[in-house]
Amino acid sequence: MEGIVERSAIVIAAFNEAAMIGTVVASCRRHYSMTIVVDDNSTDGTGAIARRSGAILLRHVINLGQGAALQTGIEFALASGALFIVTFDADGQHQIEDVEPMIAVLRRGDADVVLGSRFLGRAPGISLLRRALLKAAIALTGLTTGLRLTDAHNGLRAFNRAAAQTIRISQNRMAHASEIISLIAQHKLRVVELPVTVTYSEYSLRKGQKTRHALRVLADLFTAKLSR
């Protein structure tokens, strides 16, 4: 069991998460020794805290965005021999206890990608507006990719090695979540959703995505289509 746990990597993209990163890394490290934090050029000492908490630290010399940081962490995890790679948020919204059931699905070979769904699980503190926006995003994702998901923008995702090698995130910023879903559909990866808990604290809401950013996501995805 210990050997399998060690071949699982947790990848956390972090930007100015000094308040929470120590707690998040510590909770991940209790279960997974390969806890990777990609510090996206934070200015509040996030990287140092993550390292002191036991994370494997990678640093971006300029701020690129969550999508870019996740891809950096995924590439490092693959180079380190990880069999299963899990993306995990740095702001404390996710629960590490939700990860093992996701990896178990991958280990059995029942899927290539396991996505966490707050709408199958729990989302205490979520506002009606955010719920409505997420539902709209899910509907749009379903139209464009053909995938019927209940939660298309949850940062808690697990990939087997082959899927992680296939999915190359090119959207540096917020559009990466939509891009991941598109890539899953494009490469016909087997995807399963599992219920997870996403906790909306005052801290995470303050740090979270603003509604206006949704328009920027659309612009980024459109630009990506043009530049191919």
Partner 1 sequence: MTIKIILSLGLIACCVYFLVGVGSVILLRGPVVLIALVGAYFVWNPDQANVVAQLVGIGRGADLLLYSWVLISIFVIASFHVRQKMMMDSVTRLVRHLALREAAGETSLDPVGSTNGEGDAAD
Binding mask 40-59 for partner 1 (x = CB under 8 A): xxxx------------xxxx
100, burial (CB in 10 Å: exposed 0-12, middle 13-18, buried 19+): middle
- Of the pair 89, 193, the CB lying nearest partner 1 is at 89
Options 2-10, 25-33, 181-189, 220-228: segment touching partner 1 (CB under 8 A): 220-228
Backbone angles phi, psi at 60, to 5 degrees: -90, 135
Can you read off the two tokens belonging to residue 205? 């809401």
- Of the pair 53, 172, the CB lying nearest partner 1 is at 172
Binding mask 165-204 for partner 1 (x = CB under 8 A): -----x-xxx--x--------------------------x
Inter-residue contact 175 to 217 (CB < 8 Å) = yes
> Contact with partner 1 (CB under 8 A): which of 11, 155, 159, 184?
155
- Of the pair 41, 166, the CB lying nearest partner 1 is at 41
3-state DSSP assignment of residue 8: strand
Q: Residue 42, Cα to own-chain centre: how many angstroms?
A: 18
3-state DSSP assignment of residue 76: helix
> Contact with partner 1 (CB under 8 A): which of 75, 98, 179, 193?
75
